[in-house]
Structure 1
């Protein structure tokens, strides 16, 4: 049974949405403040309905806080419905935005759509190729089921190449997309160093790579040359 947390200080809205969703097979918990929501988080949820205005802090700030520690889908419930308000919500990390007053049937359909996307994302959260497994959700890399310790920049380079498997990623593209852990831009020489170190960690023979393939004069590709 999928679990939903409603974080909403309006008792009537909270109770009505809870009853409606329970009738459609969801397990629902409610919280009327950020403090109460924090106490519920240990239970684990498939989706959070979050009001933007809470008695002990802004829902936007809470959304950003949650995004820093979990990937559970978040849907805002709010009376603030201007384009600027919605853009602000999406920038804070929400997955959808429902303006009050709303139809509970519409809310239900939007929840179903967000959960479908979440399930699809989880199905693509692990990548397997030869002896390598990458867990994108946890940012972990395994070779023959043994963990490989990569730096933040090394991981981002590897993920970028994997996400573009079958295509050549130019050096310029990598330079535009990848920043080192100190926030300094990665120049040509530094990029070459990161590629070499990454190969030393993941390739059985760094001189004859099977994962990160150089396309001379252009850039790199993952696996068989594109």
Structure 2
């Protein structure tokens, strides 16, 4: 599920957007000022930001520039500032798209889908979040409680297989075949068991509870948490 951060000081509009996009199965994080938006961005792994320019504390343009220093998350300006120069300034600050108010909710929805497709946010997501665990597939990094977890290459690929197929039970043979396809290096049953054990110790709060990686006895493993 893609997570969208809405930074909009008009509470009625913010709430209306949150309701409408929530009904389209997006996970919504709302904020009402630039400061709140920055805190929300730093606290959540968001896939797209809807950003107003006229915010009460400082311009959305400045917030966009600050976010662009550390992230390439897609940003769509949704604003009443609709002159050609306003749009140029928005794009120069790092925006991916620009819509003027008043707007069509149907058109906004389609634009969001297009942005997420281009960025891999729907069909080929580059980020997976569950509870306090976040996996960045493109950067090959994993964070637990906002602290980076150091994984070996095989451990990371194993985690990627399980999280990318989190609605499935993966047989041991399926996992071994995928590891073979990714690595070109032979991984046997014993090596798989060892890597599962090591991975659990690194990502589980209590490896004996196995909240994330569940064993399906006699078959294989499945990603057990639902967020």
Equivalent positions of 1:167-206 (< 5 A) are none
- Is the contact between residue 38 and residue 63 of structure 2 (CA under 8 Å) also seen in structure 1? no
CA distance in 2, matches of 1:22, 1:58: 26
CA distance in 1, matches of 2:78, 2:57: 17
Deviation (angstroms), 1:4:
0.3
SS in 2 for 1:54: coil
Equivalent positions of 1:140-219 (< 5 A) are none
Taking structure 2 as the reference length, what is the TM-score of the superposition? 0.53
Say whether 1:54 aligns with 2:51. no
Gaps of 5+ in 2: 127-137, 140-152, 154-227
CA distance in 2, matches of 1:116, 1:62: 24
1:77-110 deviations in whole A, cap 9, x for unaligned? 1111111111110000000001000011111001
What's the C-alpha RMSD, in Å, of the aligned pairs? 2.8
In our comparison, the structure showing a higher alpha carbon Rg is 1
Equivalent positions of 1:117-156 (< 5 A) are 117-119=118-120
Gaps of 5+ in 1: 126-136, 139-144, 146-226
1:92-134 deviations in whole A, cap 9, x for unaligned? 00000010000111110010011111118x97x9xxxxxxxxx
CA distance in 1, matches of 2:39, 2:78: 20
Say whether 1:104 aligns with 2:102. no
1:136-170 deviations in whole A, cap 9, x for unaligned? x76xxxxxx8xxxxxxxxxxxxxxxxxxxxxxxxx
Instruction: Count how many residue pairs are aligned between Structure 1 and Structure 2.
Output: 132
CA distance in 2, matches of 1:59, 1:37: 10
CA distance in 2, matches of 1:84, 1:96: 14
